[in-house]
Structure 1
């Protein structure tokens, strides 16, 4: 079920709540850290005002040992508190519905819907805390300026989030998360997920439409009569 976690984690970033204290390595340059804090402040202010959001996305996954990345695209719908719908449209159709801790994954080609509890299907709890908006991020992540490609569009600093307690814990799939925001609007533009196994998933968002009044019906899955319901396996 690790693939489900990787697919929904990007959408989870779009429900970040206020009141977060951001921590960083003391060795980080003060000026760079101030830039990061400024981006974080603007990002939080934007998402405090965002009750719902819909966007297009493209996903490119580079799998360790394979030369060519896997590319897909679709649409994502988000509504506070804790509702998410993630639609893959190309190259294959797949729908993921999240309501708080309940998750349903519908694959029309297989005529199956996988149902379960997200907290029991995911190896890492930190991204789930972003979705629920209940925990302070500094309890789960160390926040710092990204290294290497340090700036995104508009010259804004990229944010680097490293899950705490990562050392020696191979059960955590996400090693590092890099976040890029749009200038001026401060909505999230790109998320890079670096897994401990070397895989990197890149999600790029476009055509963002905030606060359009998305109804709950958008997030409710109605199974066709010929669909088999399958319980998701539980990770220990």
Structure 2
């Protein structure tokens, strides 16, 4: 998300992805058990995140494979159902990405620049971790499989979109086995790029105000239209 490109490829560094690797096949004898486990996990995540809204801190690592570059960032996430998100990047460069589910604004205060576009072009059908603002779209938009993970306290689900694109080939969700919190979201694209978002200090207590999901362009700001 930091250093966002006008063409949307870097719109959310969390929306940059690597070519999907093949999921580990489930032996036929245990397929029904795996399906049952997947349904139980997804139901737990839905129960946890199908709420009016939540807030969280996040750390982000974006790996651009072709350039051998790794960027890191951190900030604050606010979500309000349905479709509203506010990503406030604090480190290394201040930047705010706001959507009300229809319109999208990216504000770079140091440049006094605002990029504007339509949210479905960048967050629709699972892109840009848009499912965080409507968790039930995971079942609708992805084929889901269970993958092995080294951490004993986590489940890992592999999500392959029903409509794959250059931007979005696959998503891994690392999920706490006890709370069903989303601990890490790893997204992949066809170029070999990867973004990992770790969510921390998730709070479901205070609903973010509606006003946080609209943006008034500052007077004198440079306004740039983004193309999907």
TM-score by length of 2: 0.80
Give the equivalent residue in structure 1 for 2:159: 161
Contact 1:59–1:201 at 8 Å: present in 2 too? yes
Does structure 1 conserve the Cα–Cα contact (< 8 Å) formed by 2:187 and 2:195? yes
Trace 1:63-78 onto structure 2 (pairs within 5 A): 63-78=64-79
SS for the counterpart of 1:4 is coil
Q: 2: CA distance between counterparts of 1:92 and 1:58?
A: 13
Asked whether the equivalents of residues 14 and 197 of structure 2 are also in contact (C-alpha less than 8 Å), the reply is: no
Name the structure 2 match of 1:35: 37
CA distance in 2: counterparts of 1:102 and 1:6, whole angstroms: 19
Question: Following the alignment from structure 2 to structure 1, what is the Cα–Cα distance between the partners of residues 115 and 179?
Answer: 36
Aligned to 1:45: 47
Q: In the alignment, which residue of structure 2 is the partner of 1:107?
A: 108
Per the TM alignment, residue 26 of structure 1 is displaced from its structure 2 partner at its CA by 9.0
Matches of 1:231 and 1:114, distance apart in 2? 6
The answer to whether structure 1 residue 79 and structure 2 residue 77 are counterparts is no
SS at match of 2:43: helix
Q: 1:183 aligns with which of 152, 160, 177?
A: 177
Structure 1 residues 165 and 54, CA, compared in 2 at 3 Å: closer, same or farther?
A: closer
Shift of 1:185: 2.2
Change in Cα spacing, 1:131 to 1:189, as seen in structure 2 (3 Å) is: closer
Return the offset for 1:5. Answer: 4.9
Compared CA separation, residues 211 and 223, structure 1 to 2 (3 A): same
Judged with a 3 Å threshold, the aligned counterparts in structure 2 of structure 1 residues 84 and 136 are, in CA distance, closer, same or farther, namely closer
Shift of 1:92: 0.5
Per the alignment, do residues 132 and 91 of structure 1 end up closer, same or farther by CA in structure 2, a change over 3 Å counting? closer
List alignment gaps of at least 5 residues for structure 2: 1-7, 17-24
Q: How far apart are 1:6 and its partner, in Å?
A: 4.7
Could you tell me which residue of structure 2 aligns to residue 3 of structure 1? 10
Comparing 221-230 with 50-59, greater Cα deviation is found at 221-230
Write the distance in 1 (CA, Å) between the matches of 2:135 and 2:60. Answer: 27
| 1:127 alignment counterpart | 126
Residues 125 and 80 of structure 1: CA distance in aligned 2, closer, same or farther (over 3 Å): closer
Segments of 5+ residues of structure 1 without an aligned counterpart are 10-23
